[in-house]
Amino acid sequence: MQQAMSSPSALPVSLFAAAPALAQADRSLQAWVCLDPAPQAAASGPLAGLDFGVKDVLDVAGLPTRCGSPASDATPATADADCVARLRAAGARPLGKTVTAEFAHVWPGPTRNPAHPAHTPGGSSSGSAAAVAAGMVPFALGTQTGGSMIRPAAFCGVLGFKPSFGALSRQGMRVMCPSLDVIGWHARDAALAQRIGQVLLPPAAPLPAGKRPALRWLEDLPGHPLSASAREALREAAAALQARGWMLAPGAPMAQAAELLQCHSLLVHHELSTSLAALAEHPALSPRLRAALIQGRKQAPADTEHAYARLQAWRAHAWEADFGDADLILTAGALGPAPEGLAHTGESGFNKAWSVLGWPCLHLPTTHDARGLPLGVMLVARPGADHALLAWARQIHPLIDRRPRAAA
């Protein structure tokens, strides 16, 4: 079985001088790559007093951005990524960098799942989800190309938000796949997720008072069947909403599911091979990433051009074609609980369709299986309805959250 790569730089004990408890907790969890020895934040603001983690594909001034690989440049960043700067200006404090899978792709780092250390935390935003789930920070930044925000949120049992494509500036991010990559966040509860959105997302008009969204309930995810436990968690959430008078209409399976997954594969391999061309022969690259780069270079240009054309058409028309006047889709954020083992990050095929479509997605943890592994559901909203999604999640989550300690 393939083994996870070691962290590109061990966490220096000196960097933990101001946070010895965090250092002790992370010796087994391994969610962090490095900490800022003297983290600074604004004295006031809407997020004052909150610490956060930053996935190691986003710049934090004074710290290197290693992208989960010793093949990357170790020179410290001279400025914060735009999203980090906005959060810092709002009073939050970036503690340091969290572990990512190699170049935000599939080869895992050393992070373990706080709920069950022998199981994967998901990826590629593994350290961010694990740090929030372990209570190390109330929120953390991550990114998603396929399922890199939602799947770790589902496996670790925290909220995970993937905004609409293009909603956030990617200045200061190591962009691997320009047509798919988005910056998102993991958070301890829905209220905090919304507060972060008010800082990072473009402003939007408030929802009409008392408006309830029109919901579609989708059990058949694009390209993959749900496990029994994930299906039960989804049905229980739907039943809880219906019992409180919320209207849910069944959603039909997406006719273009297979095309969406094929499109994602074509775009990822082409764009990775372009973005990482200068490192293609680096001996530190994992076998899986090296194979992906080779596949991208061999890809027929006509196939790539067709994928880009389909992407634009779907993003313009797919919501109306598949979901009509619905406001939200209630579905699953993962096929089931986190699988055992640390040499992989779990199946992400069903997440990829939503990433191709560019729609905002939010995972809500709701329960656990018999082993204590987290389960939950996902809400998907119309493109651009990010603020509405976060606002509705604050209404919905308390109604469906069956964990002993409700998150909202």
Q: Active site residue: 7, 55, 69, 162, which one?
A: 55
pLDDT at residue 55 greater than cutoff 60:
yes
Q: Is the pTM value of this prediction over 0.85? A: yes
Q: Active site residue: 124, 164, 179, 273, which one?
A: 124
- The helix/strand/coil state of 133 is helix
For the chain, the average pLDDT equals 92
- The C-alpha angle 336, 338, 343, rounded to 5 degrees, equals 135
Note if 128 is an active site residue: no
- For residues 379 and 353, what is the distance between their CA atoms, to the nearest angstrom? 14
pLDDT value, residue 39: 84
Note if 227 is an active site residue: no
pLDDT value, residue 5: 42
Q: Active site residue: 128, 148, 229, 265, which one?
A: 148
pLDDT value, residue 19: 64
- Cα separations (Å) of 403 from 177, 207, 367, 397? 36, 28, 5, 11
- Minimum mean pLDDT range among 156-160, 172-176, 215-219: 215-219
Contacts of 265 (CB under 8 A, 6+ apart): none
**pLDDT tens track for 121-149:** 999 999 999 999 999 999 999 999 999 99
- For residues 351 and 348, what is the distance between their CA atoms, to the nearest angstrom? 5
Mean pLDDT, to the nearest integer, of 254-282?
A: 95
- For residues 69 and 74, what is the distance between their CA atoms, to the nearest angstrom? 10
Torsion of CA 222, 225, 228, 231, to 10 degrees: 20
- For residues 324 and 164, what is the distance between their CA atoms, to the nearest angstrom? 18
CATH of domain 16-252+321-400: 3.90.1300.10
Higher pLDDT, residue 225 or 154: 154
Q: Is 96:131 a contact under the CB 8 Å cutoff?
A: no
If we measure between CA atoms, which residue out of 255, 296, 256 comes closest to residue 275?
296
Task: Give the DSSP letter string of 215-275.
Answer: EEE--SBTTBPPPHHHHHHHHHHHHHHHHTT--EEEPPPPTTHHHHHHHHHHHHHHHHHHH
Higher pLDDT, residue 394 or 14: 394
Residue type, 402: R
190-200 and 386-400 helices cross at what angle (nearest 10)? 170
- The C-alpha angle 120, 126, 127, rounded to 5 degrees, equals 120
Higher pLDDT, residue 202 or 14: 202
Note if 124 is an active site residue: yes
**pLDDT tens track for 320-342:** 999 999 999 999 999 999 999 99
